[in-house]
Amino acid sequence: MGLSDEQLERYARHLILKDVGVRGQKRLLRARVLIIGAGGLGSPVGLYLAAAGVGTIGIVDDDVVDLSNLQRQIIHTNDSVGVPKVESAARRMTALNPDVTVNAIRATVDAGNIADLIADYDVIVDATDNFAAKFLINDACVLAGKPFVHGGVVRFAGQVMDYVPGEGPCYRCIFREMPAAGEIPTCREAGVLGAAVGVIGSLQAVEVVKLITGAGDPLVARMLTADMLTMKIRTVPLPERVPDCPVCGERPTITALDADNYVQPACAI
């Protein structure tokens, strides 16, 4: 597959990067990425992956745009209020780059449908706002052998890590048990700085591009944490493997997705 004259111009700044180049851009154009959540994290992820030329981008969310979303969910506009988020997001992404195919999937992600949703995609992006969703995405991706990029933000702080099958720990390796309901506040309860969500979502987009192209050193067995009040940004080493992890360990106890274990539906920050 050659690049058209328009693609050579559009992706020119990628093509001169020795870690991307023509080969990496072709990989991006062939890639399929699913973003779960069309909110604060999903906004920069969707825009930057569309701009980068990821060939097929799925975006799944069941919500509609609310005025209070616009402080951080920059893929939407004032005219999108009341419109399903996936439709609003798909319009912006294809307007930015008609080279890409955007699958707008209006659905609540749960234990009953997530396996089908992720099946046709190469990389999954966790752009959700609650722990039940994050554990669900992790467990589904581990069971399906799919890499995914985790992101989380509350107030002024956030984190990013990658899971790649067979190459490092999963989200459940690190956090193990889901916090009790109400134990840790969501951004709806605690607040969140819009620009902080943009930083973390942009980092997630970087990680997706790295996983697809093979560029650089992805955040596998490492977690990046950023406190944007103090501007302390650290990369924390994680264990290479956790043998007793209940989903990816040597004797897993989670071998199927039980809806009773993920009682809160996925929603976007």
Residue 141 known to be catalytic: no
State yes or no: 109 annotated in a binding site.
yes
Catalytic residue among 59, 157, 187, 200: 187
State yes or no: 141 annotated in a binding site.
no
State yes or no: 40 annotated in a binding site.
yes
State yes or no: 267 annotated in a binding site.
no
State yes or no: 245 annotated in a binding site.
yes
State yes or no: 61 annotated in a binding site.
yes
Structure tokens at 146: 């799919």
Residues labelled catalytic: 187
State the binding site for ATP. Answer: 13, 40, 61, 72, 85, 109
- Residues annotated in the binding site, as ranges? 13, 40, 61, 72, 85, 109, 170, 173, 245, 248
Detail the residues annotated as belonging to a binding site for Zn(2+).
Answer: 170, 173, 245, 248
